[in-house]
Amino acid sequence: MKSSAAAHPNIAFIKYWGNLDHDLRLPANGSISMTLGGLQTRTTVEFDPDLSQDSFILDGAQAAQESLRRVSQQLDLIRSLAGFPYKARVQSENSFPAGTGIASSASGFAALTVAACAAAELELPPKELSRLARRASGSASRSIFGGFVEWHKASTDEGSYAEQLAPADHWSLVDWVAVVDEEEKEVGSSQGHRLADTSPLQEARISSAAGRLTATRQAILSQDFATLARFAELDSDMMHAVMMTSNPPLHYWRPTTVEVMQRIRRLRSQGIPVFYTLDAGPNPHCLCPEDRAEIVQEALLKIPGVRRLLRAEPGGPARVLSEAD
Ligand code: PMV
């Protein structure tokens, strides 16, 4: 009753921010992302009838109580589907450092869900794995799939899951994550989603999301970089406008964050195809076609507040690992 799985994080072009139902994590709007190959979480789950409680080792250390609680909650869902009560040992490692603007909850909960289902001998199709992963972390529903992914909004648990829009080899994009601040964020996304409705701008963001989703989906399918850039930046700025105007407000940007955003816009006005997008943190993701990756890298490294860059490309789906992996 032991299995291991690996999953990549993802970066959203159209963001998930706010829920229709917080317990079921039914999102207020659909979202679209790219799975980030080159960065991954590996997780091993072992159910053991002799254990009296779950345990969770994260990056070699005992995980915080709150992380263990979320892992146990997810294992409870899988235990009830499998029809057994056994507790589990969970061990997880990230290939990327925490606090770098890469959402480890997406890759972490996708890998946990896939490993736990395999250990419980539950054979679920990817769509069902995506629904299950969604319960632990919304963005994890997207990390079940590789390449370019859309997660659907729905008013029921059955209807809200992610699907692949295009595989990883559809489009050679590079994502440079400009690390400007490595401190753990004060307000995590689970808490942040609960604040979204306190912003007077959330309603406008949600009611206009369908148009941005359609434009972004089309832009990905037709490899229209300029349109993708326009809508991804707009959507990221809109999410941060909601964050900044919620009660209490969430301000994730730092001075260097704004410098990077301005530099990216300037590069674009000079004819270099590139755009930024930010999750719930200060570290911009800067995306460009692979053949422009070096120019963008050089420009970002010239900004004094940029501490380092992480590189990612479209990656594959979450998968069960064999002994050989
Ligand atoms: O899946 P969560 O609850 O960690 O929320 C993710 C929220 C953002 O990263 C800010 C946006 C997104 O769609 O990934």
User: What pLDDT is stored for residue 104 in this prediction?
Assistant: 85
User: What pLDDT is stored for residue 308 in this prediction?
Assistant: 93
190 CA closest ligand 1 atom index? 3
What average pLDDT does the segment 275-298 reach?
97
User: What pLDDT is stored for residue 101 in this prediction?
Assistant: 65
What average pLDDT does the segment 297-325 reach?
95
DSSP assignment of 183-205: SPPSS-HHHHHHHGGGSTTHHHH
Ligand 1 contact via 105 beta carbon (within 6 Å): yes
User: What pLDDT is stored for residue 281 in this prediction?
Assistant: 92
User: What pLDDT is stored for residue 184 in this prediction?
Assistant: 72
> Tens digit of pLDDT for each residue in 86-141?
999 999 999 987 766 677 899 999 999 999 999 999 999 999 999 999 999 999 99
> Tens digit of pLDDT for each residue in 65-82?
999 999 999 999 999 999
User: What pLDDT is stored for residue 324 in this prediction?
Assistant: 80
DSSP assignment of 5-35: EEE--EEEEE----EEETTTTEESS-EEEEE
The answer to whether the Cα torsion of 35, 105, 320, 144 is positive or negative is negative
Other Cβ atoms within 10 Å of 74 Cβ, number = 22
Instruction: Report the residue among 13, 16, 144 best suited for mutation to probe ligand 1: largest number of ligand atoms under 8 A from its CB.
Output: 16
In this structure, the residue with its CA closest to atom 4 of ligand 1 is: 189
pLDDT for residue 14 is more than 70: yes
In this structure, the residue with its CA closest to atom 8 of ligand 1 is: 279
User: What pLDDT is stored for residue 99 in this prediction?
Assistant: 62
Ligand 1 contact via 236 beta carbon (within 6 Å): no
User: What pLDDT is stored for residue 100 in this prediction?
Assistant: 67
- Regarding pTM above 0.95, the answer is yes
List the beta strands (DSSP E) in 59-190. 61-62, 87-94, 148-151, 162-166, 173-179
> Tens digit of pLDDT for each residue in 154-212?
999 999 999 999 999 999 999 999 999 988 777 888 899 999 999 999 999 999 999 99
> Tens digit of pLDDT for each residue in 221-273?
999 999 999 999 999 999 999 999 999 999 999 999 999 999 999 999 999 99
Ligand 1 contact via 185 beta carbon (within 6 Å): no
Instruction: Report the residue among 10, 14, 17 best suited for mutation to probe ligand 1: largest number of ligand atoms under 8 A from its CB.
Output: 17
| Length of the chain, in residues | 325
